[in-house]
Structure formats: C-alpha cells, structure tokens
Amino acid sequence: MLQENVADLSKYVEPDRVRREVYTDAQIYELEMQRIHEKVWIYCGHESQVPQPGDYYTVQIGRQPMVMVRGKDRKVHVLYNRCPHRGNMICGDRHGSAGEFFRCSYHAWTFHHDGKLRSIPMMDSGYQGTRWGRDNPDCNMKPAARVAAYRGFVFASLVADGPDLVEFLGRSKIAFDDICDRSPEGEVEVVPNCFRVVQRSNWKIFLENQLDALHPSVTHQSTGRAAREVEIEIEKRTGHAPLSYHMLSAFATVTIDKWDAFQTLNYPYGHCILTGYMGLRPKDPDTLEYERVLAKAYGEKRKEEILSTNIHHVLIYPGLSVQSPLQQLRAVRPLGVDKTLTEIWHFRLKGAPEPIYRRALAYYNLVNSPSTMINADDLENFWKCHSGLASNGGDWVSFHRHYGRDLEKGGVVETGPNMGTSEAPMRNQMKAWAQYMTAEK
Amino acid sequence: MATKSKAKKKSPVKTVRRDRAPARVKSAVQRPNGRDTQHAVEQFLYRQAEILDGKRWQDYIDLFAEDGVYWMPPDPSHTTWDGMPAIFAEDRNLMTVRMKRVLHPDAWSQRPLWGTNHVVGNVVIEKESPNGDVVARSRFHMLELRRDDIRHFAGRYVHHLRKTRDGFRIKLQRVDMTNAQAAYDYVLQVWV
Ligand code: FES
Ligand SMILES: [Fe+2]
C-alpha cells in the first residue's frame, strides 16, 4: 500500500511550518487526492451551465473524470464519466448536450441522465444467463456518492459520509450569499465562458497565495504602477478614468502597510476569508442607479447590509477561490504534484443594471483572463516556489508571520488588529490538511 | 495608392489574375485598387509582425488609430468585444498599461529570456471602401520561447484599417486564435 511508503504525515506539519515534501512528493500528492479531494465537497459548476435536460459539463474531482448533467427531472446529477461495459469515457467533449440519453461511442450502451442503464444492444440474446443486465446496479454509470447545491452552486463528494455541504461550508458560504444577494433577484447566471490557465506548481501554492495580503504590492508592483501612470494621465485629460484602472493600480497604491489593515478570518476545514474592499462602491450614476434597484428589491436597511459586506476573497478549501463582490471564482483542479489547472468563471447578477455587469467583467478580462497582467507575475512566483521547494536547499516552509498573535474565538481564528498580512490563512489551511491526511487509519 | 477619382467609380475594373480562383473575383469587385492595396496591406501586416517580434511596444501601439482596439475573443462566434468576455479588448490606454508593465524592471515574469516569431500570410482583402479604408484577413503562426519552453499560437487576423496620410492605422484588429479555447500553459503577456 501507498501509505506504508510514506512516513508519518503528522510529522510534516507543525503549527508554524511545513515540510517541503508536502508540496513536491508525488506519493503524498496521491494520498492527498485519496484523502482530501476525492472525499470532501468539491465545486463542480453552476446550475446555469446546464440549463436544459441532457446538457453536461465534464469536471475533474481529484483524479476522477466526472460529468455534471441536467436530468429530465430538472435535477443536476454528477456521474463518473465512465461506461460500465468496458470503461470508455461517455463524454469526450468538455461540455455539450447528451440529448435524450447518453450513448457510449464504443458499443452503444445507453444511459439515462441519472446514469441508470437504458439499453444494451441485443441485451436479451447477449446477456441472458450472465450476471450482467438491467437489474445489476453495476450496469449503471456510477453517480457521485453525494451531490448538493448551495444557491445554485453545485458540489459533489465522492464518499457517503462526512459533513453535509452546508456544514462543510460553514461561514465560507457567505461567498455565495454575497454573490447572489448583490442581485436584486437573489440569483446569478453564469457568463458562458471559462478561462482555463495551467500553473506549473502544486495546488496548495495557489491556495496559499490567494489570501497572502503581503504579496500584491511586491508581486504586482509593475502592473499597479503602470496602471496608475495611465490612470493619472487619463484623469488629467478627461477628468475621470474608468474604474478598471483603479482595479489594477490598487495593486501598487495599496502599499504593504495598508494591506495590514485588512483582516483574515480562518475557519474549520481550512476555509478563509480576506476582508478588504477594493473601492467598488463609488458614487457614480451607475452605482447609484444600482443601489436604487437593490433598495427597491430588499429595502434600504437590507441593501446597506448587502453592499457593505466586506470581502475581498473567500477561499473554500481545497478547491475554490471566490471573489464575491466581483461575482467571479476560480476552481482549482490538481493535474499532478507540480501542475494545477484553474477554471475561471464570471457570473451575471440577474436584474442588476448592465453597467454593474460590465464593471465586474472588466476585472474578469483584465485580471482573470489568459492575458492577465496580474496573475502573470503570480504564476511566475508559483513556478519558482515549486522549483525551489524541490531542492535540498532547506526542509521547511515558513508560516511564522504574526504567529502566536492570532485571536481565536469559537473555532474562528482572526488575525489581530493591523496584522492583515499574517500567515494565519496558510497555517489554517495546513491544519486542515493535516487533519484530513492523518484522519485515516 | 488609392486616389479619389479611382475610388469613386461605381463599377471598378476587375483585376484579373491568372492564379485566382473564380470565387475570389467577387471580392475583386470591391477592390478598386487591386494589386496596390494587396501589396500595401501585406507590407503593413509584415511590418506589424516585425515590430511585435522586435518588442518595439510604442511603435506597435502607434499602428492603432486613436480609437483603435485590439481584440482577441475567446470564441469565434463572438461578434463584438463590447460587454463580452475577452482575452484581450484593449484600446490604446490599456495597451499603454501593458507596455509600461513589461518595461518595468520588476515585471518578474518578463525577466527570463523571452521572444516571439510571427509569420503572417494568406492575406486576403475582404473589402476596400471608396475612402481607402480596408478590411483584410490573414493567417498567422507564432512561436514563443520563454526560458526553455516553446509554445505555438496560430489563427486568423482581421484588420480594419483606416487610410490616413501616414499610411494605414488600425481601427480594429480581431485575433481569432485556433487555440483560444485550449487551456493556457502560463499566460499571454503581450499581444499575439
Ligand atoms: S465500453 Fe461503453 S458500450 Fe462498450
Ligand atoms: Fe497575486
């Protein structure tokens, strides 16, 4: 067995530091897939990606190729993308429509959208007297053990036991509440485009970076400065620069000490929130119009609550990074110990004025598209981190920043006042990692 | 080069070429200047590719009209960049941000050895207006080297060119990459 070859994993993680093999060892990676990704709730997609019966999207959960499909009963199912006959993948495209039913391209077995066997060519003559046939559940496409949705965001877990989705999400479900509540109808729909970018680094390096409030002013200085220069120049010329310049220039104008004013909140199961508002509530006519629409839908008091939700990023461990005020998210799909795919989606607030969609879209295009001037430098760092960790130049990764100064209240670890750049989120993620990895006998 | 009198003609003389398939004759009807335009556009596209590979960012931006846009849709079915997800949808201001970024000494991802090589061909004049503005489509193939990694990008350009006293300026350059929908191994740091 694999686990016998790996030393006691509890020795790899200490509260303030982690051994480098956690990021680079291929056997540990396999165990992570078994013990974390193929067990916990993993984000599959949004219900609006599969509006019609038969619509499907393929999705990787751990090492398992899965398919999310809308059934005739309107339910969203998540199935292993595998034919029970000889193992052929049923859906070869990334997404599409299966039509009335799935049909295997190899020997034409067909399946209902919930995975149940529909027909086998010459079933009677071919299978009479064998143990293979309609009554045998092994002849169905296997479903994920558990599927659940929270406000339209679909998750699946490949094991039957464990916390249910809402319990698992805990306070991190605010990511989806914040996205949806910003719509006057309380709902979003997906913008039909997925940007997919591969990182040559371990999946955890990306997650740790998402709430690393120290890095932006260093890593993204070049883009922040460049955007600021052009922003000033446009302001001089026209009196007003579009908000998208501010979204970029903030990476330079918010200096390290200012990032410390932000706060991180760290929850069970490794989830974390980074607070900090990127100035998305200006007083221009578009925003005021949007506020009027929201007030009409929710009332003045609730509108204020919704718009003052103070979130920059929500990280739902181990596979999702959500920027709820901008209605976008990045799903993390590990492809190997040193290779990670991010799938990046944007959502439209139903019923909100068009300019509000466009404002968030500008961020999606500028920061999250494959031409990103921001993530370009992140990915460079991730690759360098992974390469450095693969060396014998040191055994430990340090998470000491503001260690020992966190405040714990009822299972929630908050960074202390003016310690927003604390490495508490990394410590929290690795704590969850160690719990998952050592829970097994 | 185009002259006003020529451009005004209602039914311009067809330029007949021996190597042209019959289907092409129709587009020749819309091209008052035929061979001259073809040559001028080809030279423009080749120079643009040369400027890009030469990392002459400001010269590249200056090929665009004041209201010019560089657009790379993620999907060939898109008909506008306005309000749509886009890999690039940049006016001269945003292009200037991009230029300033790559020139900044702390653009970490720019530090490694990095270069591109574009080949542009299959240039077809789709439309030439009486005022000399041109719509041209072409194909490109680009090889990029970064550290020890080679990537290939290929696809189609559509240039909407405005005729000015100083030659063509780009009103809109649409870039449909054949690999637009593929997963990106790393990102695109500058225009393709
Ligand atoms: S493998 Fe699917 S029908 Fe044979
Ligand atoms: Fe970053």
Per mean pLDDT, which range of A136-150, A160-174, A243-257, B92-106 is the poorest?
A243-257
> CA A19, CA A394: separation in Å to the nearest integer?
9
Taking a contact as any Cβ pair under 8 Å apart, which residues of chain A between 62 and 101 contact chain B?
none
C-alpha Rg value of chain A to the nearest Å? 23
User: Would residue A21 count as lying in a domain?
Assistant: no
Residue A332, strand partner residues: A342
Do residues A320 and A361 both lie within one domain?
Answer: yes
Decide if pLDDT at A51 tops 50.
yes
Please write the tens of the pLDDT for every residue from B17-47. 444 444 444 444 444 567 899 999 999 999 9
More confident residue, B5 or B159: B159
Of B96, B108, B83, B14, the residue nearest B57 (C-alpha) = B96
User: Would residue B86 count as lying in a domain?
Assistant: yes
Max mean pLDDT range (A3-7, A256-260, A393-397): A393-397
To probe the interface with A, which of B71, B80, B97 has the most A CB atoms within 10 Å?
B97
User: Would residue A255 count as lying in a domain?
Assistant: no
User: Would residue A432 count as lying in a domain?
Assistant: yes
Decide if pLDDT at A31 tops 50.
yes
Q: Characterize the bridge pairing of strands A195-199 and B184-185.
A: parallel
- Residues on chain B touching A376 (C-beta within 8 angstroms): 109, 186-187, 189
> CA B115, CA B109: separation in Å to the nearest integer?
13
Mean pLDDT of chain B, nearest integer = 86
Q: A92 in ligand 1 pocket by Cβ < 6 Å?
A: no
Decide if pLDDT at A268 tops 70.
yes
> CA B132, CA B36: separation in Å to the nearest integer?
11
| Structure confidence at residue B7 as a pLDDT band (50, 70, 90) | very low
Q: What residues have CB less than 8 Å from A109, skipping those under 6 apart?
A: A83, A84, A85, A103, A117, A119, A120, A121
Question: A29: which DSSP letter?
Answer: H
| Structure confidence at residue A84 as a pLDDT band (50, 70, 90) | very high
pTM of the full structure: 0.92
Do residues A137 and A186 both lie within one domain?
Answer: no
- Residue A230 and residue B97: Cβ atoms within 8 Å? yes
Cα of A70 to ligand 1 centre, how many Å? 22
Decide if pLDDT at A38 tops 50.
yes
Task: Residue A142: give its domain's CATH number.
Answer: 2.102.10.10
Per mean pLDDT, which range of A170-174, A385-389, B109-113, B152-156 is the poorest?
B109-113
User: Would residue A389 count as lying in a domain?
Assistant: yes
Taking a contact as any Cβ pair under 8 Å apart, which residues of chain A between 336 and 355 contact chain B?
341, 346, 354
Quote the pLDDT of residue B28: 44
Q: Cα A290 to the chain's mean position, in Å?
A: 27
Do residues A127 and A82 both lie within one domain?
Answer: yes
Decide if pLDDT at B109 tops 80.
no
User: Would residue A19 count as lying in a domain?
Assistant: no
Decide if pLDDT at A272 tops 80.
yes
Inform me whether the C-beta atom of residue A219 falls under 8 Å from chain B C-beta atoms: yes
Task: Residue B43: give its domain's CATH number.
Answer: 3.10.450.50
C-alpha Rg value of chain B to the nearest Å? 18
Do residues A268 and A185 both lie within one domain?
Answer: yes
Please write the tens of the pLDDT for every residue from A314-338. 999 999 999 999 999 999 999 999 9
Q: A86 in ligand 1 pocket by Cβ < 6 Å?
A: yes
Do residues A287 and A334 both lie within one domain?
Answer: yes
- Residue B104 and residue A221: Cβ atoms within 8 Å? yes
Per mean pLDDT, which range of A12-21, B15-24, B175-184 is the poorest?
B15-24
Please write the tens of the pLDDT for every residue from B111-137. 778 899 999 999 999 999 999 999 999
Please write the tens of the pLDDT for every residue from A212-264. 988 988 899 999 999 999 999 999 999 999 988 998 998 888 777 777 888 89
Do residues A181 and A52 both lie within one domain?
Answer: no
Quote the pLDDT of residue A2: 52
| Structure confidence at residue B190 as a pLDDT band (50, 70, 90) | very high
User: Would residue B19 count as lying in a domain?
Assistant: no
User: Would residue A156 count as lying in a domain?
Assistant: no
Strands (E), chain B: 64-72, 88-90, 114-128, 134-146, 149-164, 167-177, 184-185
More confident residue, A3 or A320: A320
Quote the pLDDT of residue B105: 83
Question: A415: which DSSP letter?
Answer: P
Decide if pLDDT at B72 tops 90.
yes
Of B100, B106, B85, the residue nearest A231 (C-alpha) = B100
More confident residue, A89 or A439: A89
Q: A85 in ligand 1 pocket by Cβ < 6 Å?
A: yes
Helix residue ranges, H only, A202-336: 203-210, 216-219, 221-238, 243-253, 256-259, 285-298, 300-307
Mean pLDDT of chain A, nearest integer = 94
Inform me whether the C-beta atom of residue A293 falls under 8 Å from chain B C-beta atoms: no
Helix A300-307 to helix A285-298 angle (10° resolution) is 120
Q: A106 in ligand 1 pocket by Cβ < 6 Å?
A: yes
Per mean pLDDT, which range of A38-42, A126-130, A179-183 is the poorest?
A126-130
Do residues A284 and A389 both lie within one domain?
Answer: yes
Of A302, A366, A364, A196, the residue nearest B91 (C-alpha) = A366
- Residue B64's domain comprises 37-177
Do residues A63 and A189 both lie within one domain?
Answer: no
Task: Residue A416: give its domain's CATH number.
Answer: 3.90.380.10
Do residues A202 and A347 both lie within one domain?
Answer: yes
Do residues A116 and A204 both lie within one domain?
Answer: no
- Residues on chain A touching B67 (C-beta within 8 angstroms): none
Quick one: which atom of ligand 1 is closest to the CA of A107? Answer: 3
Do residues A270 and A419 both lie within one domain?
Answer: yes
- Residue A351's domain comprises 170-213+262-437
Do residues A125 and A183 both lie within one domain?
Answer: no
User: Would residue B110 count as lying in a domain?
Assistant: yes
Helix (H, G, I), strand (E, B) or coil at B171: strand
Quote the pLDDT of residue B110: 73
User: Would residue B44 count as lying in a domain?
Assistant: yes
More confident residue, A124 or B143: B143
Q: How many domains are there within chain B?
A: 1
User: Would residue A396 count as lying in a domain?
Assistant: yes
Max mean pLDDT range (A7-21, A258-272, A341-355): A341-355
User: Would residue B94 count as lying in a domain?
Assistant: yes
Q: How many domains are there within chain A?
A: 2
Quote the pLDDT of residue A3: 54
